[in-house]
Structure 1
Amino acid sequence: MIWNIWWSFLRFVSLLDDLTVYFSIQLGRCALLSFPILAAVLILRRGILRKKIFLKGMVWGIFLAVPFLGKLNLFYDSRWMCRLFMWWNDLCMVCRPARYGYVLCMAVSAAVIIRKRSNLHRMLHHMEKRYICGQEVFVCEMAATPFAAGVFHPGIAVPAVMIEQFGTEELEMILFHEKTHIRLGHLWYYLLWDVIRVLLWPNFLLSVCMREFREDLEDICDQAAMQEGGMDAYEYGKLLIGSIKILQEETPGGTAAFAGEKEYREVRQRILRITEYAPYEKRRVRILCVCALAVLAGIFLMIYGNSFPRYVKLMDMVVTNDAEEYWVLKDSGMLRKAVSADEEKVYIDRAAMDVVLREYGIEDSQFTLLFGGYEKLPGFGGNGNLVYVDYSGQEERLEIPYEDSDVYITARILKMI
């Protein structure tokens, strides 16, 4: 009983080690690739997409595909890609601190983000609730810009000073702006960006560029709120400036606090973009969204079609003798005829096996045979089966019992991930 528990524990530890190898190799590659991809996105949004509010925001969607690039055939088939990335593959294979360090830093990054979100959620639920313009909102006592938070049950927080000094029309527009964020799914986008930052944590620029990401979504929200709220650029900009002025008056030192930031660095640029507002056709924006989703789906299909499968069954076998010499028996019709197996026994056909042994120059009458298993990535896999073969007899067909490694749940988990 104790031995069974011990072996189960060892298999579980082995599974965790294999998983760290598997994911650290892939995500490390993705993190390295994310640097040039991020550079391309920043160049696009500062260049040809500078005036394209909706396209500028949509281009960030390319990062949804980045964490799935780690199994591309290109990493092994291209010589220059091998030179650029194989060092990380080898490091994760042989160096436990490297692969465990990657996973540990992921866990730490996730813990930090979860703690920040939990603190914000806790802060919201300690705020007073009021109904304003028919909408239940959280009343924030500190001088912070209105914000929406929460994914499954989103809520809107508005500072008390704004509620006291703004009229109904201004408050309705403020709430409409935050509800537009919620309706457009921006809170989900922020969550997805946090997940990407955790998975690709070595690229610290993803956290640095969070400001640009939020800025682009804010521009989209401004455009949608002005269009659907029936407010022109002058009135909208005036409301924004009025909000900043109120918050500055309530904050010591004259600096307004903002949700998630200590100061709002892009107020001037945002107002300039608001002044450039022009009504847009909703139909064109919907078509643009459909095209963007189609492009993203096409990227995922290309990645899937040019990546290694979940696993590749290994058909080669390995023979080892007592002198620790080994031979790799390549998959062939004769080898398959010589060795076959079911869930309980290995069957060796002597006539066919004689041909295989002569082909490889193997003269030993006793040897071990390693067969089965699979490969998750080139050079990384598991679940082989080992049997001892006494070939000194004259039986035409040998039957050797063995324990199939696929019966263990830990082996099946790694195989199917």
Structure 2
Amino acid sequence: MQGLQQFFTNISQFFEFLVVYYSIILGFCALISVLVLGIIMFLRKTVLADRVFAKAASWGLLILCLFCGKLKLIFETKAGWYTLGRWDLLCAHRIVSIIYIVGIFIFAAYFIYRRRRLHKFVKGLDKATTCSFDNEIRKYPGTISPFCIGCIHPIIVIPEKLDVQNALIVIKHEETHIKLGHLWIIAGYDMVRCLLWPNVFLHIAAKYIKRDLEDVCDAVTMQMNGIDPFDYGESLLANAKEIMLSRKNMKCEEGFLFAWDDNYKVLNKRIHRILERNGYDRKVVLAGGILFIMALIASIFGIKCFSYKRNNPLDISGIYSMTKMDTVVQDTEEKIVTGYDGDYIYIDGAALKEAYPDAEIEEQPLFVFVGGYYKIPGVGGGGGWGEFSASDVKDGVFRIENHDDIDVWNWMIMWL
């Protein structure tokens, strides 16, 4: 019974550690993502405003935020500590850490529920007779903006009354979304929103990344399928007109899932970009994409180099007095505790008496704590301990038994 109780205690402590640890590093990531998102929004409005592919690629910078939670500059520089490090102090209150982790699960449940509900809705639609070589097509008996869903098994949804010419353009457009992996990108963005949910700007910016992906899809669809820009723009306008009319007459009753959310100004800019399209060099875009991915990978390695490792040795030892109920000696230079292994701790008696003369007259045992590890400063564990009495203290080096606290739970934490 006692062993079972200890097992559940260990599980409880293990999950408590995980909650605190991940809430701290993900909180740092969320704070850093505010700055990165600001840079992305600035770039897409200025130097990248007319560069369709570069503007869409800039959203990849958010990937770097997920690796910034253990940066040393947060803890080891004044600027990092005063701007970001305060979050670490907040997480000292367990309720803050719990709220953060619970928030992740709430957002994840919401996104999963929304996707499952939409999949259920689409599965209930009839299959369209319009040909598509690669993907399943469903038709909606009313007015709705065409869309595609499903990362693994993509499905394209089109309005039932869509004429053949516009249907072919729409299907090509949605198939381009699928081939370019845009559904996976949006799914990944939703995952980032879950993990970094306190950054409200990520939720606001969701519509902007979709707009940028639409611009990429427009350019690729027209060039790869040889579609005339005027025909493409006319199809887009016709669809927008139908959606606006349906909103006016039916009060969005049939567009509750994908109502038209772009205003006239955004639609006007999109039409102008379509009509002013000059084409693009596929090799240049491909080379640029490869270089950008390589730069991201190199940046991730760079961030890891300036971050704390999975586990870092805690090169410090201390001596605790049961009489004074306090740590009486801290040794960071291995002067007192000269070394330790899996069996013994080695103590220099002369150095101990110099640092703590009362060691020879202590009535109760003295405890020695050695080693251990930390994931980030203030978060760690493990190590070993031993005890000795005043009679054990002598000149020269003496040894005491080392009780190693590194168990299977600590090994799992060290691996994380």
Query: Normalised by the size of structure 2, how large is the TM-score?
Result: 0.90
Residue pairs, 1:193-208, within 5 angstroms: 193-208=189-204
Farther off after superposition, 139-148 or 392-401 = 392-401
Residue pairs, 1:5-404, within 5 angstroms: 5-93=4-92, 95-135=93-133, 136-162=136-162, 166-167=163-164, 169-249=165-245, 253=249, 257=255, 260-265=258-263, 266-322=266-322, 323-332=324-333, 335=336, 337=338, 339-342=339-342, 345-348=343-346, 353-364=348-359, 366-393=365-392, 398-400=399-401, 402=403, 404=404
3-state SS of paired residue (1:364): helix
Shift of 1:398: 4.3
3-state SS of paired residue (1:137): strand
1:358-379: CA deviation from partner (whole Å, max 9, x where unpaired): 2422432531111221011112
1:277-313: CA deviation from partner (whole Å, max 9, x where unpaired): 1111101111110121122112212211111111111
Measured in 2, the distance between the counterparts of 1:315 and 1:250 equals 69
Work out whether 1:406 is the aligned partner of 2:406: yes
Change in Cα spacing, 1:406 to 1:141, as seen in structure 2 (3 Å) is farther
* 8 Å Cα contact 1:248-1:254 kept in structure 2: no
Measured in 2, the distance between the counterparts of 1:313 and 1:27 equals 23
Matched residue type, 1:61: G
Measured in 1, the distance between the counterparts of 2:205 and 2:146 equals 22
Measured in 1, the distance between the counterparts of 2:11 and 2:213 equals 44
* 8 Å Cα contact 1:319-1:367 kept in structure 2: yes
1:211-235: CA deviation from partner (whole Å, max 9, x where unpaired): 1110000000000000001012111
Task: State the percentage of identical aligned residues.
Answer: 26
Farther off after superposition, 38-47 or 254-263 = 254-263
Shift of 1:247: 4.0
* 8 Å Cα contact 1:335-1:353 kept in structure 2: yes
Matched residue type, 2:180: L
Shift of 1:397: 5.3
* 8 Å Cα contact 1:129-1:139 kept in structure 2: yes
Shift of 1:252: 5.1
1:139-189: CA deviation from partner (whole Å, max 9, x where unpaired): 222422111111111111112121xxx12x432221111110011110111
3-state SS of paired residue (2:269): helix
Q: Which runs of 4+ in 1 moved over 6 A?
A: none
* 8 Å Cα contact 1:319-1:327 kept in structure 2: yes
* 8 Å Cα contact 1:147-1:259 kept in structure 2: no
1:322-341: CA deviation from partner (whole Å, max 9, x where unpaired): 2213134434455564x423
Change in Cα spacing, 1:42 to 1:12, as seen in structure 2 (3 Å) is same
Farther off after superposition, 389-398 or 376-385 = 389-398
* 8 Å Cα contact 1:181-1:221 kept in structure 2: yes
- Which segments of 5 or more consecutive residues in structure 2 lack a partner in the other structure? none
* 8 Å Cα contact 1:258-1:264 kept in structure 2: no
3-state SS of paired residue (1:11): helix
Measured in 2, the distance between the counterparts of 1:416 and 1:259 equals 43
Measured in 2, the distance between the counterparts of 1:328 and 1:60 equals 51
Measured in 2, the distance between the counterparts of 1:142 and 1:387 equals 77
Change in Cα spacing, 1:71 to 1:394, as seen in structure 2 (3 Å) is closer
Change in Cα spacing, 1:244 to 1:217, as seen in structure 2 (3 Å) is same
Change in Cα spacing, 1:405 to 1:238, as seen in structure 2 (3 Å) is same
Aligned residues: 403
Matched residue type, 2:3: N
1:2-43: CA deviation from partner (whole Å, max 9, x where unpaired): 111111111111111111221111111221222222122111
Shift of 1:128: 1.5
Change in Cα spacing, 1:44 to 1:254, as seen in structure 2 (3 Å) is farther
Change in Cα spacing, 1:73 to 1:155, as seen in structure 2 (3 Å) is same
Matched residue type, 2:19: T
Measured in 1, the distance between the counterparts of 2:303 and 2:182 equals 26
Measured in 1, the distance between the counterparts of 2:301 and 2:99 equals 31
Change in Cα spacing, 1:92 to 1:81, as seen in structure 2 (3 Å) is same
Matched residue type, 2:355: Y
Measured in 2, the distance between the counterparts of 1:326 and 1:250 equals 74
Measured in 2, the distance between the counterparts of 1:150 and 1:359 equals 71
* 8 Å Cα contact 1:137-1:155 kept in structure 2: yes
Measured in 2, the distance between the counterparts of 1:242 and 1:161 equals 12
Shift of 1:399: 4.9
Root-mean-square deviation (Å): 2.2
Measured in 1, the distance between the counterparts of 2:279 and 2:201 equals 34
